[in-house]
């Protein structure tokens, strides 16, 4: 028997949920949702469960990850209960639940903490540079090592345990033990969704946007790999250097076009929507990942340019900026921010397919 | 006097003439004894035919009219009015129904329908031969009204009657006026409390000369009839004085506004009377009103959460109270709003069977929702279960909106939102023999068309004694009842239908059978010609005819339905 928890709705509102308690359960949101199916119906059900505050059920639900926030439900809600934003808040809340450190929740709920953490990273980089007496070569060498170690550490200590927690909460605790072999059989689903995010097409039929997004994911990933594994910034290999420039150029052009389209679409939506406040509730942390990714690419590009122009020794500051952005990205934004949504979504599809296949089997 | 009868046979635009050969009907009655003229018409009720009838009556000096058309329910009064306009007493008019009783009923057998229509018209003619002019019974009426019950309905009715110039006795059995309104905190949608409204009204009626307020008075007996009721009252506000003087009042009409009682939960119903913290809505309102501190303290603990259970004693699946009490959903929401206004951090649950906050009251529901009150609709047949655990009350409930999930909530107070039931002490009802409906509330004659009149002439009903109503609905019905009662007493004279029973003094041997059969208490015994005979009170008799068949000596006749008339009609029909 599930226990009603009235504090839950108050807590959820700290994660951005709007006036979802005014929902009168008409079900328009579920009817209009292009991703909801008969077997997997949302958002009304989750709005109701959230109002009741039955935490355990919400914790074990994968449905919040099935929503890609097109906003259709919110614009049609007769009670202005903003179900789309509720789904978003549930994802933020779940991210905080999965995170064993508890930092995700803290960073979502408090802007000062977020800003403080970012400033702490700035201070750390400056102190470190000071400690190395602003020796360009040593700092750049360390920076390269840091990239590799930081990513490995974050993955092992934060992301992996969190994925395991998600797995425990959504698959194991509700008692849906899939047979061992299914984990391999369903692995394809995980990679398909992680790299293509193809489910968004069911929500938004803008193929161009999806394709650009796909290019960006691949592009940034390539750029990251080139910097971390091939050492783009320090290498003498002319092939790597040129390839790096090329990828950077593609990424910048596509990013610019993507942002432009996004702004246009939002204006359009606002003009047609009764609910002008749509997306007004996006948290600062939602945007950090995208901006920082861009800044990282931009500063990496600038550093490589400075190296090639041979002016890096007198302009260490550009590398320090890059390092700061990198550190903030790797230690704060990736493990505790919006980026994890991308990871959890893919795993949610994976877990869902484990469970459904299991049900089919039995 | 020689009868000169005119007969009109209506085609009803085909409704009749498609199945009944109306020309044949006309032919077969032409030449009948006393029939002076017979006509067919497309629409008897149409203006053109009404004018024709008018001139026929005047020209031929007709003194009997028969129209064969639809049901008398539809047009009896239409054609009575035509007779009157043409200077003929309306009781000389006889109606024959050849639509519902012939053409519609026998649409599969046209010759049969025609044959039946002919007989029906002939029977009507037979009755018309006996028809005579009748004058309405005129009786004097007292220009005063007794209003029983001084709740909001009674007070407003008394004010309305007083404003129209009638003398009003406002009778209340309690020592102060206001009734159930006194127990209501805030009467939505205004911010005034029940007590404040009563105070204001009390001040208003204080100086009204036409209103005699009799608080602490019970009616001990009532007699008489419309226009002339006699009520005996006994004061009970001085408990020390047993022999408090009786008082007699004489009024033309009685307006009953005795209100309702709150359903009182059975012991053990949702833990009522067993668990501390389970209270009715009225008790909860009192508790809330009495809070003076910073936190809500009751039953020796701080109250942080309150659960309202709706429809207690209303819309019962198993019990007798099948009806919805209308006011309780809104009243409960209003109390919840009062609570969250006073103690904003309270957790409030509403366990409902569907919220019926109709009309403007919907705004209250919306506001409660907005404030974060949790509404849970449980399945009709699976009500919540209340248990006690440590210091808390545990509610187990199934939530329809999340697929009947079984939920558990902790709460400090459970409020049973009780509905309305009829007043248990039915003193007034039994004195006036007021009919009650299946729900045991007083019954009106017709819910839509005669909503404040009862089967007892001169007695009107208002407010929640008639069925669950909120304050404003009670006032609506009170003002309607006041207008109706006023119309009975305003001129000081009443005209009653002359179709009543009368007794043949020679034949009557007073066996008491007729008075037992009379549903209106209209028959009494008197001594006349050295014997006991029955006397019929003309102003109470409704002409229903119940006394006729039970009379062993055939001493009772009903005007315009005499044995001779009925026998003649039967003779025609059995030809």
Q: At what angle are helices A160-167 and A83-98 packed, to 10 degrees?
A: 110
Rounded Cα–Cα distance for residues B384 and B452 (Å): 39
With a cut of 0.90, is the ipTM above it?
A: no
Beta bridge partner(s), residue B302: B297
Question: Average pLDDT, whole number, for chain A?
Answer: 83
CA atoms within 13 A on the CB side of A335: 25
Q: Is residue A2 part of a domain?
A: no
Q: Are strands B5-10 and B35-41 parallel, antiparallel or unpaired?
A: parallel
Using CB atoms, pick whichever of A2, A25, A51 lies closest to residue B405.
A2
The string over B102-114, giving b where at least 16 C-beta atoms fall within 10 Å of a residue's C-beta and e elsewhere, is: bbbbbeeeeeebb
3-state secondary structure (DSSP) of residue A123: helix
Beta bridge partner(s), residue A239: none
Give the angle subtended at the CA of A342 by the CAs of A337 and A347, to the nearest 5°: 120
Q: Is B344 on the interface with A (CB under 8 A)?
A: no
**pLDDT for B16:** 95
3-state secondary structure (DSSP) of residue A95: helix
- On chain B, the residues whose CB falls within 8 A of the CB of A2 are 405-408
Q: Of B431, B425, B417, nearest to B465 (Cα)? A: B425
Q: Is A82 on the interface with B (CB under 8 A)?
A: no
Q: Is B369 on the interface with A (CB under 8 A)?
A: yes
**pLDDT for A286:** 66
Q: Is B370 on the interface with A (CB under 8 A)?
A: yes
Q: Is residue A352 part of a domain?
A: yes
pTM above 0.80, yes or no: no
Question: Which H or E run contains A227?
Answer: helix A207-228
Give the angle subtended at the CA of B166 by the CAs of B163 and B171, to the nearest 5°: 95
Two tokens, residue A108: 């979502």
- On chain A, the residues whose CB falls within 8 A of the CB of B350 are none
Q: Is residue A46 part of a domain?
A: yes
C-alpha distance from A26 to closest chain B C-alpha (Å): 10
Phi then psi dihedrals of residue B459, to 5 deg: -110, 120
Q: Are A2 and B408 a contacting pair at CB < 8 A? A: yes
* Pair A61, A107 in one domain: no
C-alpha distance from B268 to closest chain A C-alpha (Å): 24
The last residue of one of the domains, among A98, A115, A142, is: A98
Q: Of B548, B535, B521, nearest to B458 (Cα)? A: B521
Percent of residues, chain B, with pLDDT higher than 70: 98
Using CB atoms, pick whichever of B349, B370, B407 lies closest to residue A1.
B407
- Mutant choice from B347, B372, B375 vs A, greatest count of A C-beta within 10 A: B372
Strand residue runs (E) in chain A: 2-3
Strand residue runs (E) in A85-136: none
C-alpha distance from B156 to closest chain A C-alpha (Å): 38
Q: Which residues of chain B fall short of a pLDDT of 70? A: 1, 237-244
Q: Of B117, B93, B120, nearest to B16 (Cα)? A: B117
- On chain A, the residues whose CB falls within 8 A of the CB of B403 are 45
Give the Cβ contact number of residue A24 at 10 Å.
Answer: 14
DSSP class of residue A61 equals -
* Pair A149, A234 in one domain: yes
Phi then psi dihedrals of residue B39, to 5 deg: -135, 155
Q: Is residue A282 part of a domain?
A: yes
Per-residue pLDDT tens over the stretch A329-362: 888 888 888 778 888 988 998 898 888 755 554 4
8 A C-beta contact, residue B283 and residue B337: no
Q: Is A3 on the interface with B (CB under 8 A)?
A: yes
Q: Is residue A342 part of a domain?
A: yes
* Pair A196, A276 in one domain: yes
Q: Is residue A30 part of a domain?
A: yes
Kindly calculate the radius of gyration of chain A based on its CA atoms and give it in whole angstroms.
22
Using CB atoms, pick whichever of A4, A6, A19 lies closest to residue B370.
A19
Q: Is residue A1 part of a domain?
A: no
Sequence-distant (6+) residues with CB within 8 A of B416 are B265, B269, B270, B272, B278, B279, B280, B281, B309, B312
Q: Of B422, B417, B433, B418, nearest to B463 (Cα)? A: B422
> What residue ranges do the domains of chain B occupy?
5-134, 144-259+423-493, 269-421, 497-559
Rounded Cα–Cα distance for residues B349 and B334 (Å): 13
* Pair A93, A122 in one domain: no
Range of the domain at A147: 103-361
Rounded Cα–Cα distance for residues B28 and A156 (Å): 110
| CATH top class, domain B144-259+423-493 | alpha beta
Domain B497-559, second-level architecture: 2-Layer Sandwich (3.30)
Provide the CA A62 distance to its chain's centre, in angstroms.
16
Q: Is A13 on the interface with B (CB under 8 A)?
A: no
Percent of residues, chain A, with pLDDT higher than 90: 17
Q: Is B399 on the interface with A (CB under 8 A)?
A: yes
Which one is predicted more confidently, B462 or A70? Answer: B462
* Pair A70, A139 in one domain: no
The last residue of one of the domains, among A98, A114, A137, is: A98
Kindly calculate the radius of gyration of chain B based on its CA atoms and give it in whole angstroms.
31
8 A C-beta contact, residue B174 and residue B218: no
Sequence-distant (6+) residues with CB within 8 A of B249 are B144, B146, B169, B230, B231, B233
Q: Are A6 and B399 a contacting pair at CB < 8 A? A: no
8 A C-beta contact, residue A132 and residue A142: yes
Peptide bond into B189 cis (omega under 30): yes
**pLDDT for A184:** 84
* Pair A220, A139 in one domain: yes
Phi then psi dihedrals of residue B92, to 5 deg: -85, 0
Which one is predicted more confidently, A220 or A202? Answer: A220
- On chain B, the residues whose CB falls within 8 A of the CB of A1 are 396, 406-408
The last residue of one of the domains, among A98, A124, A141, is: A98
Tokens 């047979």, located at residue: A179
Highest mean pLDDT among A192-206, A252-266, A338-352, B136-150: B136-150
Q: Of B137, B48, B125, B69, nearest to B92 (Cα)? A: B125
**pLDDT for B152:** 96
8 A C-beta contact, residue B24 and residue B38: no
DSSP class of residue B327 equals S
* Pair A152, A217 in one domain: yes
Sequence-distant (6+) residues with CB within 8 A of B573 are B119, B120, B122, B123
Fold of B5-134: Rossmann fold (3.40.50)
Q: Is B566 on the interface with A (CB under 8 A)?
A: no
Same fold, B269-421 and B497-559: no
Give the Cβ contact number of residue B521 at 10 Å.
Answer: 15
C-alpha distance from A218 to closest chain B C-alpha (Å): 41
Q: Is B366 on the interface with A (CB under 8 A)?
A: yes
Sequence-distant (6+) residues with CB within 8 A of B182 are B176, B194, B195, B198
**pLDDT for A361:** 47
The string over A329-361, giving b where at least 16 C-beta atoms fall within 10 Å of a residue's C-beta and e elsewhere, is: bbbbbbbbbbbbbebbbbbbbbbbbbbbebeee
Q: Are A6 and B374 a contacting pair at CB < 8 A? A: yes
The string over A251-279, giving b where at least 16 C-beta atoms fall within 10 Å of a residue's C-beta and e elsewhere, is: beebbeebeeeeeeeeeebeeeeebeebb
CATH superfamily of B269-421: FAD/NAD(P)-binding domain (3.50.50.60)
Rounded Cα–Cα distance for residues B7 and B36 (Å): 8
| Strand order, beta sheet including B413-418 | B278-280, B413-418, B305-312, B347-352, B374-377
- HEC per residue, A10-41: HHHHHCCCCCHHHCCCCCHHHHHCCCCCCCCC
Q: Is A52 on the interface with B (CB under 8 A)?
A: yes
* Pair A244, A352 in one domain: yes
* Pair A83, A136 in one domain: no
- Mutant choice from A1, A3, A6 vs B, greatest count of B C-beta within 10 A: A6
Q: Are strands B297-298 and B301-302 parallel, antiparallel or unpaired?
A: antiparallel
The DSSP code sequence of B423-458 is: -S--HHHHHHT--B-TTSSBPPSBTTTBTTB-SSTT
Q: Of A239, A253, A234, A337, nearest to A298 (Cα)? A: A253
* Pair A123, A55 in one domain: no
* Pair A210, A147 in one domain: yes
**What is the total count of domains within chain A?**
2
* Pair A114, A93 in one domain: no
Tokens 């304050």, located at residue: B471
C-alpha distance from A24 to closest chain B C-alpha (Å): 8
- On chain A, the residues whose CB falls within 8 A of the CB of B405 are 2, 52, 54
- On chain B, the residues whose CB falls within 8 A of the CB of A25 are 401
């Amino acid at each position: 028997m599930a226990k009603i928890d009235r504090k839950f709705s108050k807590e959820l509102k700290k994660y951005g949920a709007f006036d979802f308690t005014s929902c009168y359960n008409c079900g328009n949101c579920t009817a209009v949702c292009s991703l909801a199916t008969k077997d997997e119906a949302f958002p009304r059900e989750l709005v109701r469960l959230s109002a009741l505050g039955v935490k355990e059920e919400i914790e074990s639900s994968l449905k919040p990850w099935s929503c890609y926030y097109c906003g259709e439900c919110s614009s049609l809600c007769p009670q202005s209960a903003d179900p789309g934003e509720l789904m978003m808040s549930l994802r933020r809340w779940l991210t905080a639940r999965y995170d064993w450190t508890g930092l995700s929740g803290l960073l979502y709920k408090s802007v000062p903490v977020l800003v403080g953490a970012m400033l702490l990273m700035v201070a750390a980089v400056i102190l470190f540079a000071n400690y190395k007496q602003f020796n360009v070569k040593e700092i750049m060498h360390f920076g390269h090592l840091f990239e590799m170690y930081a990513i490995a550490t974050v993955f092992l200590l934060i992301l992996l345990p969190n994925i395991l927690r998600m797995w425990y909460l959504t698959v194991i605790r509700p008692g849906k033990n899939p047979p061992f072999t299914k984990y391999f059989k369903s692995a394809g689903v995980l990679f398909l969704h992680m790299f293509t995010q193809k489910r968004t097409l069911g929500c938004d039929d803008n193929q161009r946007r999806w394709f650009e997004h796909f290019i960006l994911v691949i592009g940034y990933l390539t750029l990251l790999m080139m910097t971390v594994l091939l050492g783009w910034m320090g290498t003498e290999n002319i092939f790597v250097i040129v390839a790096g420039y090329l990828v950077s150029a593609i990424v910048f052009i596509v990013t610019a076009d993507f942002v432009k389209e996004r702004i246009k679409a939002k204006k359009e939506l606002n003009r047609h929507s009764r609910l002008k406040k749509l997306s007004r509730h996006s948290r600062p942390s939602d945007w950090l990942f995208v901006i920082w990714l861009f800044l990282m690419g931009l500063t990496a590009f600038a550093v490589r340019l400075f190296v090639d122009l041979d002016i890096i020794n007198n302009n260490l500051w550009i590398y320090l900026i890059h390092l700061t952005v990198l550190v903030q990205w790797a230690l704060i934004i990736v493990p505790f921010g919006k980026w994890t949504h991308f990871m959890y979504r893919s795993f949610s599809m994976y877990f869902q397919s484990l469970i459904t296949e299991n049900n089919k089997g039995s | 006097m020689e009868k000169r009868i005119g007969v009109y046979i209506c085609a009803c635009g085909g409704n009749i003439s498609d199945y009944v050969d109306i020309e044949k009907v006309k032919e077969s009655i032409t030449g009948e004894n006393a029939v002076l003229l017979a006509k067919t018409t497309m629409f008897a009720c149409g203006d053109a035919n009404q004018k024709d009838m008018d001139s026929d009556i005047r020209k031929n000096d007709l003194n009997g009219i028969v129209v064969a058309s639809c049901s008398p329910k539809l047009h009896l009064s239409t054609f009575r009015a035509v007779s009157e306009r043409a200077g003929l007493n309306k009781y000389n008019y006889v109606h024959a129904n050849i639509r519902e009783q012939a053409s519609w009923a026998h649409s599969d057998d046209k010759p049969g329908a025609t044959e039946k229509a002919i007989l029906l018209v002939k029977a009507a003619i037979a009755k018309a031969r006996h028809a005579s002019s009748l004058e309405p019974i005129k009786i004097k009426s007292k220009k005063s009204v007794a209003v029983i019950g001084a709740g909001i309905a009674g007070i407003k009715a008394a004010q309305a009657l007083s404003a129209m110039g009638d003398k009003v006795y406002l009778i209340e059995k309690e020592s102060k006026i206001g009734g159930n309104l006194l127990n209501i905190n805030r009467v939505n949608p205004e911010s005034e409390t029940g007590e404040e409204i009563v105070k204001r009204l009390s001040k208003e009626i204080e100086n009204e000369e036409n209103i005699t307020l009799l608080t602490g008075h019970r009616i001990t007996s009532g007699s008489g009839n419309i226009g002339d009721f006699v009520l005996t009252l006994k004061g009970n506000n001085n408990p020390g004085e047993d022999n408090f003087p009786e008082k007699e009042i004489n009024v033309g009409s009685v307006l009953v506004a005795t209100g309702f009682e709150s359903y009182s939960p059975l012991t053990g119903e949702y833990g009522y009377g067993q668990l501390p913290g389970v209270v009715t809505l009225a008790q909860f309102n009192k508790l809330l009103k009495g809070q003076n501190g910073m936190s809500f303290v009751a039953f020796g603990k701080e109250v942080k959460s309150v659960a309202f259970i709706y429809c207690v004693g209303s819309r019962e699946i198993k019990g007798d109270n099948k009806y919805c009490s209308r006011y309780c959903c809104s009243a409960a929401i209003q109390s919840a709003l009062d609570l969250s206004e006073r103690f904003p951090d309270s957790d409030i649950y509403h366990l409902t069977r569907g919220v019926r906050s109709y009309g403007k009251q919907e705004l209250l529901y919306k506001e409660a929702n907005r404030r974060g009150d949790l509404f849970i609709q449980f399945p009709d047949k699976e009500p919540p279960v209340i248990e006690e655990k440590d210091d808390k009350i545990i509610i187990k409930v199934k939530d329809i909106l999340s697929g009947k999930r079984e939920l558990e909530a902790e709460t400090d107070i459970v409020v049973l939102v009780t509905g309305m039931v009829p007043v248990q002490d039915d003193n007034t009802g039994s004195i006036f023999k007021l009919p009650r409906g299946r729900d045991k509330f007083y019954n009106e004659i017709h819910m839509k068309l005669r909503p404040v009149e009862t089967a007892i002439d001169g007695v009107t009903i208002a407010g929640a004694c008639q069925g669950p109503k909120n304050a404003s609905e009670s006032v609506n019905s009170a003002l309607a009842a006041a207008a109706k009662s006023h119309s009975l007493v305003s001129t000081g004279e009443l005209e009653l239908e002359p179709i009543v029973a009368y007794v043949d003094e020679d034949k009557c041997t007073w066996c008491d059978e007729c008075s037992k059969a009379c549903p209106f208490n209209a028959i009494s015994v008197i001594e006349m010609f050295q014997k006991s005979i029955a006397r019929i009170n003309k102003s109470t008799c409704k002409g229903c005819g119940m006394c006729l068949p039970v009379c062993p000596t055939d001493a009772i006749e009903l005007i315009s339905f005499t044995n001779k008339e009925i026998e003649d009609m039967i003779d025609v029909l059995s030809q």
